[in-house]
């Protein structure tokens, strides 16, 4: 077994992350060295890292920009000495930013901070994000600092640009009060606002601490990849496709090309990724989509108003029969459930398409509680897999240890912290194709 990978993910939090240990075990069980592992809902890249650290090729896909960027830097880390060299020059530039902002602090008011405005502070040209309530979530001098750091990020080479933007994001998506915003619980579903007064030197210290943690973890990943001989061929061994909707085919993913699909799709009604990422993605100018909080393509979040649940459940009777009886009268809920299961079906169809004959797919999914009733998503998933043609379908429950895999608590689906999830395994027949 390679290095302890779990600790090397701890530079940026991500809701509902896999346990490294579990995915490593599944990957090593179902694949051999140099095989291809694909995660169509890769999130923060846990499966990709586990694949690379075990000398497998890794392809990730996600609809979310932050997920894509986070996964990408974990798949292309540099050595400790590369990061130290780069850091020396970068910190000098950071210091210049803070000096300029301190000198011009009297000019920085909300008047020149309307969303989408560009403004000059000394020789710093700053762009205010188009986020509608940017002034509500960030105080003026923090907007200036974050905009200046984002601008400095865009002047780095592509790897270091992402390193800076992800560290900036980690400084915002952090537990209050160690966060560079007024948002509490930002990594959960709905942030609450709470003001705090950070001095410029505290802001500098907080950001650099995050940056250093990013560099330490990334160089640790580099060492883990080096230990298995892939650190010098990461360009051939990994690839992250984003933003891409896993329900749709991607021309970049050939048919029958993958040995294992190892993934965890969103759970019904669970995590509002666009909302919890919006305060940090807004600083990634040039990377972020126009409509930052769009839910249009997120599984489990997009609108289901046009979804014809009656027809869908008619052709998926076995799934309907397993829905809790007490919920059947709630037409809106049934429509949203049908739409969610149909998203899983489409993701499974793409999984089937890209798997080599004989290849395995392993999905980890939770079964949450709605109005006191358990929705058995794992059972629906297994049923859909059977209809699509997978063999050897096996469902095993797994206890979620401690708060590592974090989910929101409350009315959006979970009846207290999640304690269980299910591992659903399936195999594409060796003979079949198409
Ligand atoms: C449970 S998380 C995966 C976490 C991941 N296993 C990890 O360890 O970080 C589900 C992911 O699905 C992504 N997602 C939601 N809808 C998607 C879609 N239509 N296509 C691709 N990814 C999507 C979310 O952005 C989120 O990153």
Q: What is the 3-state secondary structure (H, E, C) of 234-273?
A: HHHHEEEECCCCCCCCCCCCCCCCEEEEEECCCCCCCCCH
Band (pLDDT 50/70/90 cuts) for residue 2 is low
Buried b (16+ CB within 10 A) or exposed e, 158-194: ebbbbbbbbbbbbbbbbeeeebbbbbeebbbbebeee
The listed range with the strongest mean pLDDT (56-70, 291-305, 357-371) is 56-70
pLDDT at 23: 96
Q: Is residue 146 in some structural domain?
A: yes
Q: Is residue 226 in some structural domain?
A: no
State in Å: Cα 42 to ligand 1 middle: 6
292 in the same domain as 192 = no
309 in the same domain as 175 = no
The listed range with the strongest mean pLDDT (75-89, 277-291, 298-312, 413-427) is 75-89
pLDDT at 411: 42
Does an H or E element contain 424, and which? strand 420-427
Residue where a domain stops, chosen among 191, 221, 251: 221
pLDDT at 3: 66
Residue 433 has pLDDT above 60, yes or no: no
Does an H or E element contain 360, and which? strand 355-365
Phi and psi of 34, rounded to 5°?
Answer: 70, 0
**Average pLDDT in the chain:** 90
Q: Which of 127, 123, 120 has its CA nearest to residue 154?
A: 127
Residue 46 has pLDDT above 80, yes or no: yes
Q: Is residue 200 in some structural domain?
A: yes
Which pair of structure tokens corresponds to residue 138? 């960030």
Q: Are strands 36-39 and 258-263 parallel, antiparallel or unpaired?
A: parallel
Strand partners, 421: 398
Residue 64: Cβ-neighbour burial (10 angstroms; 0-12, 13-18, 19+): buried
pLDDT at 175: 82
The owner of tokens 């850091």 is 87
Q: How far apart are CA 194 and CA 73, in angstroms?
A: 31
Residue where a domain stops, chosen among 166, 189, 221: 221
The owner of tokens 């061994």 is 237
Residue 294 has pLDDT above 80, yes or no: no
99 in the same domain as 43 = no
307 in the same domain as 406 = yes
Band (pLDDT 50/70/90 cuts) for residue 417 is low
Residue 322 has pLDDT above 60, yes or no: yes
Measured from the CB, is residue 17 less than 6 Å from ligand 1? yes
Which pair of structure tokens corresponds to residue 60? 């990730």
pLDDT-above-70 percentage for the chain: 91
Q: Which domain holds residue 247?
A: 6-66+239-427
Calculate the CA 371 to chain-centre distance: 28
Q: Is residue 234 in some structural domain?
A: no
Strand partners, 260: 37, 360
Measured from the CB, is residue 187 less than 6 Å from ligand 1? no
The whole model's pTM is what? Answer: 0.94
92 in the same domain as 61 = no
State in Å: Cα 366 to ligand 1 middle: 13
Q: How far apart are CA 247 and CA 74, in angstroms?
A: 24
State in Å: Cα 286 to ligand 1 middle: 22
pLDDT at 412: 45
Q: By mean pLDDT, which of 74-83, 309-318, 402-411 is the weakest?
A: 402-411
Q: How far apart are CA 379 and CA 387, in angstroms?
A: 13
Band (pLDDT 50/70/90 cuts) for residue 404 is very low
Residue 107 has pLDDT above 80, yes or no: yes
Q: How far apart are CA 190 and CA 185, in angstroms?
A: 7
173 in the same domain as 141 = yes
Atom 12 in ligand 1: residue holding the nearest Cα: 41
Evaluate the omega torsion of the peptide bond into residue 243 and state whether it is cis, within 30 degrees of 0. Answer: yes
The owner of tokens 């990957």 is 27
If one residue of 298, 354, 407 were mutated to test the ligand 1 pocket, choosing by the most ligand atoms within 8 A of its CB, it would be 298
pLDDT at 187: 61
Mind listing the pLDDT tens digit for each residue in 194-250? Answer: 888 899 999 999 999 999 999 999 999 999 999 999 999 999 999 999 999 999 999
Residue where a domain stops, chosen among 190, 221, 252: 221
257 in the same domain as 401 = yes
Residue 413 has pLDDT above 50, yes or no: no
Per the structure, the count of domains in the chain is 2
pLDDT at 189: 58
Do residues 301 and 272 lie in contact, with contact meaning Cβ atoms separated by under 8 Å? Answer: yes
Measured from the CB, is residue 299 less than 6 Å from ligand 1? yes
**CATH number for the domain including 323?**
3.40.50.150
25 in the same domain as 59 = yes
Q: Is residue 420 in some structural domain?
A: yes
Q: Which of 44, 45, 37 has its CA nearest to residue 351?
A: 37
Mind listing the pLDDT tens digit for each residue in 264-286? Answer: 999 887 678 888 888 899 998 76
87 in the same domain as 62 = no
Residue predicted with more confidence, 400 or 332: 332
Q: Is residue 72 in some structural domain?
A: no
State in Å: Cα 271 to ligand 1 middle: 10
Mind listing the pLDDT tens digit for each residue in 366-376? Answer: 888 888 888 89
Q: Which of 239, 282, 213, 284 has its CA nearest to residue 13?
A: 213
Q: Are strands 258-263 and 355-365 parallel, antiparallel or unpaired?
A: parallel
Calculate the CA 211 to chain-centre distance: 19
Phi and psi of 251, rounded to 5°?
Answer: -65, -15
Q: How far apart are CA 303 and CA 75, in angstroms?
A: 33
Q: Is residue 367 in some structural domain?
A: yes
pLDDT-above-90 percentage for the chain: 68
If one residue of 27, 38, 63, 418 were mutated to test the ligand 1 pocket, choosing by the most ligand atoms within 8 A of its CB, it would be 63
Mind listing the pLDDT tens digit for each residue in 133-183? Answer: 889 999 999 999 999 999 999 999 999 999 999 999 999 988 888 889 898
pLDDT at 431: 77
Buried b (16+ CB within 10 A) or exposed e, 357-378: eebbbbbbbbbbebeeeebbbb
197 in the same domain as 125 = yes
Residue 293 has pLDDT above 70, yes or no: no
pLDDT at 405: 46
263 in the same domain as 412 = yes
State in Å: Cα 43 to ligand 1 middle: 5
pLDDT at 310: 95
Residue 355: Cβ-neighbour burial (10 angstroms; 0-12, 13-18, 19+): buried
Residue predicted with more confidence, 401 or 9: 9
396 in the same domain as 276 = yes
């Amino acid at each position: 077994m390679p290095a302890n990978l779990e600790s090397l993910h701890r530079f940026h939090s991500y809701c509902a992350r896999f346990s490294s240990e579990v995915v490593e075990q599944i990957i090593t069980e179902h694949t051999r060295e140099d095989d291809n592992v694909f995660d169509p809902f890769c999130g923060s890249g846990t499966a990709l890292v586990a694949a690379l650290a075990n000398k497998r090729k890794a392809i990730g896909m996600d609809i979310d920009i932050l997920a894509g960027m986070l996964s990408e830097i974990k798949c292309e880390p540099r050595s400790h000495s590369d990061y130290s060299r780069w850091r020396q020059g970068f910190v000098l530039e950071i210091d210049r930013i803070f000096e300029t902002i301190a000198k011009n602090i009297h000019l920085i008011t909300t008047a020149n901070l309307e969303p989408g405005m560009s403004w000059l502070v000394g020789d710093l040209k700053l762009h205010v994000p188009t986020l509608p309530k940017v002034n509500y979530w960030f105080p003026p001098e923090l907007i200036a600092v974050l905009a200046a750091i984002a601008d400095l990020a865009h002047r780095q080479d592509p790897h270091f640009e992402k390193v800076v933007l992800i560290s900036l994001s980690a400084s915002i998506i952090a537990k209050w009060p160690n966060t560079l915003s007024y948002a509490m619980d930002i990594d959960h579903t709905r942030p609450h606002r709470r003001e705090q007064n950070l001095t410029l030197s505290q802001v500098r210290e907080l950001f650099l601490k995050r940056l250093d943690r990013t560099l330490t973890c990334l160089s640790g990943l580099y060492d883990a990849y080096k230990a298995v001989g892939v650190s010098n061929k990461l360009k051939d061994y990994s690839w992250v496709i984003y933003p891409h909707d896993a329900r749709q085919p991607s021309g970049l993913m050939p048919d029958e090309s993958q040995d294992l699909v190892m993934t965890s799709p969103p759970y019904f009604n669970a995590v509002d990724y666009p909302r919890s990422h919006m305060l940090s993605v807004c600083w990634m100018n040039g990377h972020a989509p126009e409509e930052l909080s769009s839910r249009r393509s997120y599984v489990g979040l997009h609108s289901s108003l046009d979804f014809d649940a009656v027809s869908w459940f008619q052709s998926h009777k076995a799934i309907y029969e397993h829905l809790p009886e007490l919920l059947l009268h709630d037409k809106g809920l049934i429509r949203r459930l049908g739409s969610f299961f149909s998203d899983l079906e489409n993701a499974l169809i793409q999984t089937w398409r890209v798997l080599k004959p004989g290849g395995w797919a392993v999905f980890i999914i939770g079964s949450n509680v709605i109005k006191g009733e358990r929705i058995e998503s794992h059972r629906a998933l297994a049923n859909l897999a059977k209809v699509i043609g997978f063999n050897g379908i096996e469902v095993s429950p797994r206890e979620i240890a401690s708060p590592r895999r974090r989910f929101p608590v409350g009315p959006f689906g979970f009846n207290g912290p999640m304690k269980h999830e299910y591992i659903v395994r399936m195999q594409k027949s060796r003979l079949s194709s198409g």
